Chains A and B, each alone.
Chain A
Amino acid sequence: MPGTSEQIARLREEGMAVIAAARSESDLLDAKGRFFGKKGAVSGILKGVAALPMEERKAVGELANRARTELESAFDARLSGMREKERLLREGRDRIDVTLPGRGSMPGHRHPVSQTMSEIISVFRRLGFSVQGGPDVETDYYNFEALNFPPEHPARDMQDTFYIESAAGDLVLRTHTSPVQIRTMERMKPPVRIIAPGTVYRSDSDITHSPMFHQVEGLAVDRDITMADLKGLLTEFCRMTFGPTKPVRFRPSYFPFTEPSAEMDIQCVICGGSGCRVCKESGWLEILGAGMVDPSVFGFVGYDPEEYAGFAFGMGIERIAMLRHGISDIRLLFENDIRFLSQF
């Protein structure tokens, strides 16, 4: 009898629907009669099973029995729920309504940028990096010069800078967290292995740029650090942040304070690599910049580039948070609308 299994499935479905629709105990009991009575649908099916050829009987029989058990327990649960409710209505005074909200507040919400930043920090701390901070109001020397951006160098155009009123005229709001590299290397000898999370500022504002945003910078210096180490570390980082199967690529780029320099891309999280507006049809999204510390930077902090090598990397947190959560307008991140924050 082909189609018995389909019949069983349909019967199960119908039964569940009737149980859910029952408005009163009598409705429910009526339905029970219709399904489980002597002439009920379930008995009909079970009889049908008995008529099946031997080789099918076992499998279909099991199916039918499972359906019957499920239906029976659904009937029972619904019935006891109904009776309990009626009883509560009758004797309501002695009982409490356990479904009322508890007293006190439900937890608040972490800001998505802070949450992403915190996760990135903990990934790198697990990988042996320690945290270093630095001032937001920086000198031109730390923000640019010691990072190999000479005065009058076009690389300074890469970052629109806010200047701070000061007597010497050399104060800026840091445009990146990279000054922390210099401050750290001035203070200690290798081995160095730090990350520098923080707020940075650039005079730029549209749906993907904010005049203030957050970065995490990393720096490792030792006798035997190589670019292969950098690639390994960052590949691992991307796996931990975007999932182990997300393809990544590493390609040459330029930053004044690293050489060779690189950019790391992940496969576009929106289109999966086929090309879309977000990835400008390339299938890739730029996630972070990195490179080997430029020997002239070592010159500024008194490290010998023949003895030591190092790598540095940096990433924008807003961008990563926006990609992770599918947020398309950066300004949402700074409006602090509770309806927005409650989603995280």
Chain B
Amino acid sequence: MKIPYSWLKEFIDTRLSPAQAQEALTMAGVEVSSCRFLGEGLDSVVTARILEMRPHPEADRLSLCKVTDGSTTFGIVCGAKNMKAGDAVALAKTGARLPNGVEIKKAKIRGQASEGMLCSEQELKLAEASAGIMILPEDTVPGKPIADALGLSDWLLEVEITPNRGDCLSVLGVAREIASITGEKVVLPDVSFPEEGEPIGDLVRIDVSDPELCPRYTARAISGVTIAPSPDWMRRRLTLCGIRPINNIVDVTNYLLLEVGQPMHAFDLDRLRGLRIDVRAPKETLAFTTLDGSERKIDPGMLLIRDGEGPVAVAGVMGGANSEVVDGTTRVVFESAHFSPSSIRRTAKRLGLSSEASYRFERGVDPAGTVYAADRAVSLLSRFAPLSVAKGMIDAGGESVKPRTVPFRPERVNRIMGRVYAPGACMEIFARLGFPVADDGTGTWNVTVPTHRFDIEREIDLVEEVARLSGYDSIPTTYPESKAPEFSGDDRFVDIQERAFDFLRGRGFSQAVNFSFVGGRTWERLGTFLGFDPADAVRLVNPISDDATLMRPHLLTGLLSNAADNVRRFIDDVRLYEGGKAFGKSYVEGHFEEARLGVILCGKRLPGDWSGADTPADFFDMKGVVEPLLLHLCPSPVHVVPTCLRPFFEEGKAADILRDGEIVGWFGAIRKELLVSFELPGPVFYGEIRLLKATASPPPPGRYAPLPKFPPVFRDVACVFPTGVPVGDVLSMVREASHEVEEAGVFDIFTGEKIGEGKKSVGIRVKLQSLDRTLTDAEVHSIHSKIVKLLENRFGGKIRTS
């Protein structure tokens, strides 16, 4: 909220300068985010009067003016035509640097000397645009600083009010806050005025049928009023605070909203059918046009102000077009009411309509303030508009407004804050706040809280008042007593994740972070290729865009588009990983979330390699990352098996990774259709790991095995198999073939004409070893024969004897 400093000064004659007030309020919890001097750049601009004016001899569009600041006469060449001799104007003298950055220098314009400039409102940054120069009121005295003449020797404070401090959404509220900081006194302007009209009860009948939603309804009536613009000072203040001036009646209600925080509404009395007001929520849905011209659907339960025939306002939110003050209005009813915050909030939310009034009612308004606001409005108006005030006021529910008493133990504030506050100091703070204290010596005080501090209901609220008004600077810095730290499952997870990130970093992968939501459009289009089941999607009700409608079921699409984006930026070798959650529906808990790690790879196998090979990365480069990563995180064996469960991979180039019989991850080559749709040129390889499942059962510390004392023997077997035989199975079989097989590996693999269609040649190196003796030739031969036989029988292998 914006508050002019001069307005604050009308309520509290504080010794704090604007800058000091900004600092003091901020450090007491009412943040003043800026404090701007309104006269910035107006130093050398003064009021002046035009003595004479004649056309420029050389240029039709220019005129020559003689102006005086009361002591000196200046010759000015001016491009505007909207002034005449005798007008009061704003003169920027040479040397002035205007708010729009223009510097005023002595100049010769078409042969005529110009000793300054006559300013427009736009040049002084008082308006967005202006036609011609600014003409000041006739009675302006020349030679005064323009800032003084326009009320710009002022500061505008911008106050950020937290939702609990609705009481500070007004000049009065902020003045009270200054009083509780400095101990200075808030003085309310006098609101006396003669009441000469008919008794208000004879003019209008007011009923509150739903007192739950409207605890208090206060009204005043005036007659004989002429609708006209408000005085300049009022229009200026409203404009500074961001409210557009309308007319004297509407402006005064807005002025009071800003000044004391009480939202008010003005009805044209003669447009209230049956001259009556009823505050009541309808039982049925109906349509109503608010004064912004929109037709609103009013649901049962939304509080309305009705006249004798139907609704005239949505209570506390916005008035209706049918009863608003218009040019011919002469009799006005001012409503100054208190509405239930939650009811106003519900209504405003449902109508999608937030106003200055509803904003304040939602955050709370002082229920005791209705009468003062109504009186202040009438009193202000009576100062600049002829009118007659009806006798008396209507005040329904006024008797129920009472201050609250809250118990407070001075010892409690010490306990919470960790420093000692003397009881006397607490007393003094409550005195500054205007909270009377009763201390009956039991150790518990009874603190009476005035109705404008509706946020204070509990002892802890009083503790906070003492703490913040004593200043947080006075809180010492201590440390919580140290205890043996817990080590949770999530600590372990963080460690695992860190190890995974470090491993991948070491392998040249960089970390990506993508949004957890993914694009509905892409997903509906590519769904089957992405393995996406619309029925399983966790959907957002109010997505921020069409590209963020679902929670991602895996990490693939984020990394795929990252790869595509980077390739488009001429980075062909992409190596990225991401740690994050995948989401889906689950029958047990409604939905599930799982920590995953995605890895993507495309481009060259060895970026930056200079050997000239330039080999592109392939499936086994991805396998060579995810498999060791899993072993790095948890040293128990994993099994890689072909899979057809993942439609985002190319058929036959996809694998699942199993550990202890459970799928802990998958990897493969991204299928063509996806590459095309993401505009990725070459093959792309992707792997995803279920981090928690993959590390669920770390093996116990391994037992030591004695080292062999006798030399090993190596045997190579070259064998031709049908292409479909999995080499992994062959190796497992060889390892199992005999106790003496220590290790079996592939040293060579090829296909070709020599071997024949549908066949592949695999060279297997077997390491044979015994713990207790050197193997004899006969033993080696026998094991070799056994292996050969098994290869032939189990896998249809044929030994090559080149």
Contact = CB atoms under 8 A, between A and B. Distances in A.
Contacts of A121: 494
Given A118-B498, A334-B513, A152 B346 contact: yes
A152 B511 contact: no
Given A252-B29, A253-B29, A333-B513, A152 B345 contact: yes
B542 A163 contact: yes
Interface in A220-263: 220, 222, 224-229, 231-233, 235-236, 249-254, 256, 259-262
A166 interface: yes
Given A135-B593, A225-B480, A252 B467 contact: yes
Interface string B576-589: 11011101000000
8 contacts: A152-B345, A153-B163, A154-B341, A158-B163, A199-B580, A212-B517, A227-B467, A250-B472
B575 A228 contact: no
A114 B610 contact: no
Interface in A91-140: 100-101, 103-111, 113-114, 118, 121, 125, 128-133, 135-137
Interface string B333-347: 000000001100110
Contacts of A339: 569, 571
A342 B540 contact: no
B461 A259 contact: yes
B417 A336 contact: no
Interface in A147-205: 152-155, 157-158, 162-166, 171, 173, 191, 193-194, 197, 199, 201, 203, 205
Given A103-B606, A107-B505, A254 B164 contact: yes
A274 to B, nearest CB: 14
A224 to B, nearest CB: 7
Contact of A336 (B419, B476, B512, B581): B512
B290 to A, nearest CB: 21
B513 A336 contact: yes
A339 B571 CA distance: 9
Nearest to B482: A128
Nearest to A153: B163
A108 B458 contact: no
Interface string A314-344: 0000000000000000000111111101100
A224 B480 CA distance: 8
Interface in B363-416: 363, 415-416
A105 B34 contact: no
B510 A338 contact: yes
A281 B34 contact: yes
A211 interface: yes
A217 interface: no
Contacts of A282: 33
Nearest to A318: B513
Contacts of A110: 501, 505, 510-511
Main secondary structure on A side of the interface with B: mixed
A273 B436 CA distance: 41
B26 interface: yes
A194 B481 CA distance: 14
Contacts of A114: 501, 511, 513, 579
Contacts of A106: 508, 608
A211 B417 CA distance: 36
Interface stretch (B78-86, B127-135, B250-258, B485-493): B485-493
A7 B761 CA distance: 79
A136 B516 contact: yes
Contacts of B576: 336, 338
Contacts of A158: 163
Contact of A227 (B416, B510, B548, B575): B416
Contacts, number: 255
A224 B415 CA distance: 8
Given A253-B29, A254-B162, A337-B565, A224 B539 contact: no
B133 to A, nearest CB: 32
Interface in B315-363: 341-342, 345-346, 362-363
B779 to A, nearest CB: 41
A231 B475 contact: yes
A227 B511 contact: no
B508 A136 contact: no
A133 B490 contact: yes
A128 B508 contact: no
Given A109-B505, A252-B29, A199 B581 contact: yes
Contact of B477 (A108, A166, A222, A232): A232
A310 to B, nearest CB: 10
Contacts of A224: 481
B284 interface: no
Contacts of B542: 162-163, 203
Given A107-B505, A137-B593, A229-B418, A335 B565 contact: yes
B686 to A, nearest CB: 15
Contacts of A268: none
B543 interface: yes
Interface string B529-547: 0000000001111111000
A109 B511 contact: yes
A125 B607 contact: no
Nearest to B562: A336
B514 interface: yes
- Tell which of A153, A154, A193 has the most Cβ of chain B within 10 Å: A154
A197 B566 CA distance: 29
A105 B516 CA distance: 29
Nearest to B566: A338
A336 B563 CA distance: 9
Contacts of B516: 136, 199, 201, 212
A28 B493 CA distance: 62
B590 to A, nearest CB: 7
Contacts of A101: 608, 610
- Tell which of B458, B477, B514 has the most Cβ of chain A within 10 Å: B477
B591 interface: yes
A108 B476 contact: no
A146 interface: no
Interface in B452-482: 458, 460-461, 463-464, 467-468, 472-473, 475-482
- Tell which of B34, B475, B509, B538 has the most Cβ of chain A within 10 Å: B475
Contact of A233 (B363, B479, B606): B479
Nearest to B472: A250
A341 B509 CA distance: 11
A285 interface: no
Nearest to A203: B544
B515 interface: yes
B28 interface: yes
A280 interface: yes
Contact of A262 (B472, B493, B511): B472
Interface in A259-284: 259-262, 280-282
A108 B600 CA distance: 13
A132 B490 contact: yes
A308 to B, nearest CB: 11
B670 interface: no
Given A220-B480, A232-B479, A334-B515, A251 B27 contact: yes
A211 B480 contact: no
B29 A251 contact: yes
3 A-B pairs with the lowest CB-CB distances in the bound complex, closest first: A105-B508, A226-B418, A228-B418
A309 interface: yes
A217 B361 CA distance: 32
Contacts of B591: 137, 164, 171
Nearest to A265: B26
Given A125-B485, A165-B540, 6 more contacts: A105-B608, A199-B580, A227-B467, A232-B480, A252-B27, A337-B565
B504 A108 contact: yes
A292 interface: yes
A114 B514 CA distance: 12
Nearest to B590: A166
Contacts of A292: 416
Given A118-B498, A334-B514, A260 B509 contact: no
